[in-house]
Amino acid sequence: MTFNDFNLADPVMEGIEAMGYEKPSPIQEAAIPIILGGHDLIACAQTGTGKTAAFLLPLIHRLLGDHEADDSIQALVIAPTRELAIQIDQQLEGFSYFANTSSIAVYGGGTGAGFDQEKKALQRGAQVIVATPGRLISHLNLGYVDFSNLKYLILDEADRMLDMGFLPDILKILSHLPVKRQTLLFSATMPEGIRRLTDRILIAPKQVNLAVSKPAENVLQAAYLVYDQQKIALIESLIEGKDLPLVLIFASTKAGVKEVESILKRKKFNVSAIHSDLEQEQRSDVMNRFRSRELQILVATDIVSRGIDVDDISLVINYNVPGDAEDYVHRVGRTARAEKSGVALTFINEKEMGKFKRIEAFLGSTIRKLLLPVHIGEGPSIESYERSGNFRKNFIGNSRGKGGQRRNNNR
């Protein structure tokens, strides 16, 4: 793919050439068409992958096509630090040299004169504002920033902004922006807090995720809504009488692992467990037996899950919902290597619904919920699942009045 394939306006192409970019990076390949298509976007890719140009190029292109009065504020880019805002503004100047996009950097840190200059520039207006949250709020509080023509909002390094406690500031800025706008969120990681933010501020976003790969297409993924006390019986009914070469069960606690192991042993299944109470030697022994298929069922804690390098597992059971989407994808990826098909089932209890919803949001799809076998009784209802994780409500309730979320333990 080349930059020509995006059909960007000539001045934008000249800017790309002047900046010496020869070919789009993967995040640019994926994100630019989505942004040009007018969609909201969640883009996740590691640092250094070219996210800045991924939003600046389509932005400059679209600003060329918009016929608003030139000096009204049409786009706002928010970044966590002064240094980053400067970098973005410099790249913007470079790329838009031929497009003549007007911009103002609002990042403070300087003298009082700097503030007055920013104020004058804001009053005059410019097509793009690049700002840090705190400094922008100082200006907003004084009442002269007119966002009524704003069409594009870009949040860069969203994960860092949350880590730095800018969430209340961002919400406050959002309250000054038109609801009808295109919102783009860029981040290096997707911790839980970002999920809640995207649910609140983006509309039907497209997602680009280059940080973690998604499960292979040939994995059948499904989930059960099930109470803890029903889980063992469910496992039995899933395994009993079926010809499943390799089964891997993940539980989040040692106690859970030991319980599953001892019950399946009592039922005469060919099962062993692996957890941190075992010596390294015992663990290797179990792993070797599993790898050589001498052992059919392996039960493991989350802690050791990353070290399990056996593929081609026919059934993966998540006895608990994994901590995050990355773990989920990693586990589900244990099945169905190389064209074979596999099954990954996740047990969701009444307390884990919100967590699973966030994994679904990350995957960009809803995982099918299966009905429990009749003899196990009724689990939590699908209605309760659909009602759960009303992030919008919880989010506002939790975030206001807490004085910022500086302690972010989600990672």
Residues that bind Mg ion (CB under 5 A): 51
Helices (H) and strands (E) in the chain, counts: 17, 14
Minimum separation from the CB atom of position 46 to ligand ADP (A): 7
C-alpha–C-alpha distance, residues 189 and 209, integer Å: 9
- In the list ligand ADP, Mg ion, none, the entry touching 24 (Cβ below 5 to 8 angstroms by class) is ligand ADP
Which residue's Cβ has the minimum distance to Mg ion? Answer: 51
- 175 lies in the site for ligand ADP, by CB under 6 A: no
Any idea which residue has 């039922």 for tokens?
267
Contact 207, 201 (CB under 8 A): no
Instruction: Report the residue number, 72 or 91, with the smaller CB distance to Mg ion.
Output: 91
- In the list Mg ion, ligand ADP, none, the entry touching 94 (Cβ below 5 to 8 angstroms by class) is none
Residues 263-302 that bind ligand ADP (CB under 6 A): none
Cβ-based neighbours of 78, under 8 Å, separated by 6 or more: 131, 132, 133, 136, 153, 154, 155, 156, 161, 170, 173
String marking each residue 52-91 x if it binds ligand ADP according to CB under 6 A: xx--------------------------------------
Q: How many CB atoms lie within 10 A of CB 212?
A: 17
Instruction: Report the residue number, 25 or 410, with the smaller CB distance to ligand ADP.
Output: 25
- In the list ligand ADP, Mg ion, none, the entry touching 403 (Cβ below 5 to 8 angstroms by class) is none
197 three-state secondary structure? helix
Instruction: Report the residue number, 51 or 181, with the smaller CB distance to Mg ion.
Output: 51
How many chain residues touch ligand ADP (CB under 6 A)?
13
Instruction: Report the residue number, 52 or 96, with the smaller CB distance to ligand ADP.
Output: 52
Rg of the chain over all Cα atoms, to the nearest angstrom: 25
- In the list ligand ADP, Mg ion, none, the entry touching 56 (Cβ below 5 to 8 angstroms by class) is none
Minimum separation from the CB atom of position 84 to Mg ion (A): 7
Q: Hey, what amino acid is at 10?
A: D
Instruction: Report the residue number, 25 or 102, with the smaller CB distance to ligand ADP.
Output: 25
> What's the start-to-end Cα distance of the chain, in Å?
35
Q: Binding segment for ligand ADP among 17-25, 193-201, 288-296, 331-339 (CB under 6 A)?
A: 17-25
Any idea which residue has 């209605």 for tokens?
383
Output DSSP code: residue 234.
Answer: H
Minimum separation from the CB atom of position 53 to ligand ADP (A): 5
String marking each residue 19-58 x if it binds ligand ADP according to CB under 6 A: --x-xxx--x----------------x-xxxxxxx-----
Contact 337, 317 (CB under 8 A): no
Exposure letters 37-49 (e unless 16+ CB within 10 A, then b): eebbbbbbbeeeb
Beta bridge partners of 272: 298
Cα→Cα distances 288→259, 268, 298, 302, Å: 22, 20, 11, 19
- In the list ligand ADP, Mg ion, none, the entry touching 48 (Cβ below 5 to 8 angstroms by class) is ligand ADP
Q: Hey, what amino acid is at 117?
A: Q
Closest by CA position to 206, among listed 339, 33, 403: 33
Instruction: Report the residue number, 22 or 309, with the smaller CB distance to ligand ADP.
Output: 22
- In the list ligand ADP, Mg ion, none, the entry touching 53 (Cβ below 5 to 8 angstroms by class) is ligand ADP
Q: Which residues of this chain interact with ligand ADP, rule CB under 6 A?
A: 21, 23-25, 28, 45, 47-53
